[in-house]
Amino acid sequence: MTLSEFFAENPKTALAFSGGTDSAYLLYAAKACGAQVRAYYGKSVFQPEFELRDARRLAEQLEVEITVVPVDILRQEAVAANPPDRCYHCKRLLFSAIAAQAAADGYPVVLDGTNASDDLSHRPGVRALRELSVRSPLLECGITKEAVRRLSREAGLFTWNKPAYACLATRIPTGTAITLEKLQKTQRAEELLCSLGFSDLRVRMDGDTAKLQLRSDQLEMVLRHRKTILEALRRDYRAVVLDLEARDA
């Protein structure tokens, strides 16, 4: 099946739109194929502000309507307690809210950006999507991440080389309760590093310690910005350490 065939069969769709590379291309493709598509951004404390800014920017570029759906994700104990299957409960809550809003707006089919390169064996959230009958056109049409980036670049989408981004909750160890305070600490730390020129990074929480995970070509930058990083992060953490196993190792 091709995307053109998919959207011919599903001409009116709602897209769970994160602002990332995959859902951005899918939004573009839906419109290019003549489908009536509306983007829905599930807004929770797990997403940093830049993700919503990117989503709005891309929707504006494509002249597609975007609806922000607020979700109080921490109200569900199965999410806040951060068990091994947290992602399942999170996706179930998030996509239920999006599907309900989409149905109220007259959009019967909900899509997500799962692609053919995603390892579904390590994604418990996929079970929730299947239970809610969410469709994944990129996966169904065999379109890989590499192809998504290439096609996005050809289409002129600024998201074509955007690094993959996992939600802020992934920075907190499984079994450690997730709180708004911990998420805010994480976001402040990562925003500080981004402002210094770092990219595609993670700041993991290990008790009261911030563990910096950076790309190998940016490790030396830490020494140049050491004082600034320590002064900023020690407002929220007792210690700051650098993980020498680079993210691209």
Domain limits for position 41 = 3-161
The confidence score (pLDDT) of residue 220 equals: 92
Domain count, the chain: 2
State whether 157 and 186 are in the same domain.
no
pLDDT in tens, 220-229: 999 999 999 9
The confidence score (pLDDT) of residue 9 equals: 96
Report which DSSP code applies to 135: B
State whether 97 and 136 are in the same domain.
yes
State whether 156 and 185 are in the same domain.
no
The confidence score (pLDDT) of residue 119 equals: 76
Domain boundary among 130, 161, 192: 161
State whether 46 and 150 are in the same domain.
yes
State whether 156 and 234 are in the same domain.
no
**Which residues lie closer than 8 Å to 137 by C-beta, 6 or more apart?**
3, 6, 7, 26, 29, 111, 143
Residue 39, amino acid: A
State whether 125 and 235 are in the same domain.
no
The confidence score (pLDDT) of residue 249 equals: 53
State whether 155 and 185 are in the same domain.
no
pLDDT in tens, 87-121: 999 999 999 999 999 999 999 999 999 999 987 77
State whether 60 and 113 are in the same domain.
yes
Average pLDDT over residues 196-210: 95
- pTM here is 0.91
- The helix or strand, by DSSP H or E, that contains position 12, with its residue range, turns out to be strand 12-16
At residue 135, what are phi and psi to the nearest 5 degrees?
A: -95, 150
CA distances from 84 to 122, 174, 177 (A): 11, 6, 12
Beta partners for residue 66, in sequence order? 39
- Whole-angstrom Cα distance, residue 204 to residue 211? 5
The confidence score (pLDDT) of residue 166 equals: 87
Q: Which of the four pLDDT bands, split at 50, 70 and 90, describes residue 173?
A: very high
Average pLDDT over residues 142-155: 96
Q: Is 205 left (phi over 0), alpha (psi -120 to 50) or beta?
A: beta
For strand 12-16 and strand 209-213, is the pairing parallel, antiparallel, or unpaired?
Answer: unpaired
Looking up residue 8, the CATH number of its domain turns out to be 3.40.50.620
Any domain includes 248 = no
State whether 76 and 145 are in the same domain.
yes
The confidence score (pLDDT) of residue 175 equals: 96
pLDDT in tens, 153-165: 999 999 999 988 8
Domain boundary among 104, 126, 161: 161
The confidence score (pLDDT) of residue 118 equals: 82
Looking up residue 208, the CATH number of its domain turns out to be 3.30.70
State whether 114 and 210 are in the same domain.
no
State whether 157 and 184 are in the same domain.
no
Residue 24 has pLDDT above 70, yes or no: yes
State whether 128 and 27 are in the same domain.
yes
Average pLDDT taken over every residue of the chain: 94
Q: Are residues 101 and 40 in contact, defined by beta-carbon separation less than 8 angstroms?
A: yes
The confidence score (pLDDT) of residue 209 equals: 97
